[in-house]
Amino acid sequence: MNDLIVRNSRWLSISAIKDGYDGTISVAETSKSIPFEIKRVYYIYNLVHHDNVVRGKHAHKKLQQALFCINGSCSVSLNDGTEQQAIELTEPNRGIYLGPGVWSTMSNFRNSCILLVFASDFFSEEDYIRDFNEFLRYSKTHSA
Ligand code: T46
C-alpha cells in the first residue's frame, strides 16, 4: 500500500469483524476510525467500467470526506496543486481521508463498484471548486 504524498489525504482503516461463513462487519465511527463528525452519508453505485465513466473532477473548500469502496474496486486520482498521485480502493475496510483542497477524480470502476462516502457537512454546491484552473489558483493561496 503506497504512502499518500498529497496534502490533506491519508489512508483510513476500519474494523473488519469476521464471523466465519456468516460474513464480516465493518464499523465506521465518528472521531474514532473517521477523523471528523459525520453529518452526511452517500453512496455511488450502478457504475459501469468504461473509460468515459469518471466522477469527481472537483475539490472542496472546507468539506472533509472518507471514501470506501465497499464492493468492487476503483481508482482515485489526487492532486493538491503540487503533488499528484493515483491510488486504488480495493478493500471494503481500507479507505481514504480527503480533506479540503484536494482535487479528486474517480474512475476505472470494476466489479459492480459501490463507493460509500462519509462527509463532515451537508451538501453545499458553494463548497465545490469544479474548474481545474480555478483550483490551481485556489491551492496557491490556501496551501498552508
Ligand atoms: C465527491 C465524490 C466522491 C446532492 O444533491 N447531494 C449530495 O450529497 C451529493 C454528493 C450530490 N448531490 C447532487 C449534486 C449533483 O447534481 O448529485 C449530483 C451529482 O453530484 P456530483 O457531480 O458532485 O457527483 P460526483 O460523483 O462527481 O462527486 C460526489 C461528491 O459530490 C463529491 O463530494 O467527493 O462524490
CA distance 11 to 1: 9
Q: C-alpha 5: how far from its chain's center?
A: 15
Indicate which residue of 49, 50, 58, 60 is catalytic: 58
124: CA distance to ligand 1 center in Å?
10
Task: Let me know if 128 is exposed, middle or buried by CB neighbors in 10 A (0-12, 13-18, 19+).
Answer: middle
* Ligand 1: residue whose CA is nearest its atom 25: 56
Domain 9-141, architecture per CATH: Sandwich (2.60)
Place of cell 466522477: 55
* 11 contact partners, CB below 8 Å, separation of at least 6: 1, 4, 94, 95, 96, 97
What is the structure's pLDDT at 49? 82
What is the structure's pLDDT at 3? 85
Nearest to 13 by CA among 30, 34, 31, 39: 34
Domain residue limits, the chain: 9-141
77: CA distance to ligand 1 center in Å?
16
The per-residue pLDDT for range 83-117, each reduced to its tens digit, is 999 999 999 999 999 999 999 999 999 999 999 99
Residue 143: pLDDT band with limits 50, 70, 90: confident
Q: Are 12 and 34 in contact, with CB atoms under 8 Å apart?
A: yes
Mean pLDDT of 118-140: 97
The per-residue pLDDT for range 68-87, each reduced to its tens digit, is 999 999 999 999 999 999 99
What is the structure's pLDDT at 52? 86
The per-residue pLDDT for range 7-62, each reduced to its tens digit, is 999 999 999 999 988 999 999 999 999 999 999 999 999 998 888 899 999 999 99
49 included as an active-site residue? no
The atom of ligand 1 lying closest to the CA of 40 is 8
Predicted structure pTM score:
0.96
Q: Are 66 and 13 in contact, with CB atoms under 8 Å apart?
A: no
18: CA distance to ligand 1 center in Å?
32
- What percent of the chain clears pLDDT 70, i.e. is strictly above it? 99
List the helix and strand counts (H, then E) for the chain.
Answer: 1, 10
> Which residue blocks in 1-144 are alpha helix, DSSP H?
132-141
